[in-house]
Amino acid sequence: MPSLKAISIIDFPHKTEQQKVKQGAKKLFAPSFPQVERMMSAFDNTEIETRNFCKPLDYYTATHSFQEQNNDYIEVTLQYAIEAIEKCLASSDTSKDEITDIIFVSTTGLATPSMDALILNKMKLNQNINRTPIFGLGCAGGVAGFAKANILATANPKAAVLLVAAELCSLTFLKNDFSKSNFIGSSLFSDGVAACLITGNEKLQEGKNSIEFIDSQSKLYYDSLDVMGWDFTDDGFKVLFSRNIPDIISANIRQDIISFLQKHQLSLDDIQNFIFHPGGTKVLTAYEEALQVEGDFLKNTRQVMKDNGNMSSATVLYVLERFVSTGFDDGYGLMISMGPGFSSEMVLLQMKNN
């Protein structure tokens, strides 16, 4: 089975306290948004303490065109994606020349040639690397990308697949959008870049902790296209998400997980490590109420949310990195994230401390 060989994450130099973001948002929205005082509690309800921002706070109070924001997305993403890749390769003692495939996941900026091409050119990676850019999966992209990287490594036992998830959600902020979705987004979303190296059977390392891929599952929920996504406007990306997201999770997630695990003669009781994308506090509550797992099984998920905010597709990889860096239990792991569609992505893992 393919396995995770290394993972790295980025802490941006402009990480900002949530209370400072709250005060900045209040000052920005107050002149044109009469309900601002009543809605400020949304920042406290997130339980977020710091936000992982790629730009200083005063950047977001200035006016930027869509072109300016997207150019910043390309510049910042390229810089920090390369930093994450170099950290990942160094920690695994892997040469850049060993990389056979690169998957790049993002839904917060546009680039053609795609960002993976820009990365390959800047790092002077092997010109024959197989490239797969993935756009549009939103928060589900981290698990989906992880699954696809492992599927490639399953097909090619000699593979060394590089997965990069880069989301600069803060650069999609629309200063003059006074919708409730934009306001809630300003209290929740932030920026993250993560890199993973996944290798095939022939590159497994004996004697080290292992996280091996077993299976994955994708699901699209019919007639839910308006639950989450973007409206593409003259000013840029306008965030859309429904208040019904926790209800959809509550109604579906338990049975979805049970049916997925049953394919491997497993049940929820067999899962020791829950590697979930947080979404927000209401989403976490929906998971807890639906799954009824004993103990604080979402501890690492909550901590990543508390320390960074919601970084869209990259968030679940920050949660995975926390399991790797702080320790995990021997046994099975389950990765889950939800995204536009409305959709869910799952990955089943075998996790061993050697």
User: In the CATH scheme, what is the homologous superfamily, with its name and number, of domain 3-203?
Assistant: Thiolase/Chalcone synthase (3.40.47.10)
pLDDT tens digits, 36-84: 777 788 888 889 999 999 999 999 988 899 999 999 999 999 999 999 9
Question: What are φ and ψ of residue 314, in 5° steps?
Answer: -70, -20
343 with 219: CB under 8 angstroms? Answer: yes
- What is residue 204's predicted lDDT score, i.e. its pLDDT? 55
> Which residues belong to the active site?
139
pLDDT tens digits, 115-159: 999 999 999 999 999 999 999 999 999 999 999 999 999 999 999
Residue extents of the structural domains in the chain: 3-203, 210-352
The tokens for 37 are: 């005082």
**Cα–chain center distance at 212:** 20
User: In the CATH scheme, what is the homologous superfamily, with its name and number, of domain 210-352?
Assistant: Thiolase/Chalcone synthase (3.40.47.10)
21 with 57: CB under 8 angstroms? Answer: yes
Per-residue pLDDT of the chain (354 residues; tens, 9 = 90+): 899 999 999 999 999 999 999 888 888 777 777 777 777 888 888 899 999 999 999 999 888 999 999 999 999 999 999 999 999 999 998 999 999 999 999 999 999 999 999 999 999 999 999 999 999 999 999 999 999 999 999 999 999 999 999 999 999 988 777 677 777 788 889 999 999 999 997 655 554 679 999 999 999 999 888 888 888 888 888 888 877 888 888 888 999 999 999 999 999 999 999 999 998 889 999 999 999 898 899 999 999 999 999 999 999 999 999 999 999 999 999 999 999 989 999 999 999 998
Position 60, amino acid = Y
3-203 and 210-352, same CATH topology:
yes
227 with 245: CB under 8 angstroms? Answer: yes
Rg (CA), the chain: 20
pTM above 0.85, yes or no: yes
Burial class of residue 224 in the structure, from the number of CB atoms within 10 Å of its CB (0-12 exposed, 13-18 middle, 19+ buried): middle
Task: Count other C-beta atoms under 10 Å from residue 310's C-beta.
Answer: 26
Q: Strands across the sheet with 130-135, in order?
A: 130-135, 101-106, 160-168, 191-199, 3-9, 210-220, 343-352, 331-339, 271-276
213 with 1: CB under 8 angstroms? Answer: yes
12 with 191: CB under 8 angstroms? Answer: yes
**Cα–chain center distance at 223:** 24
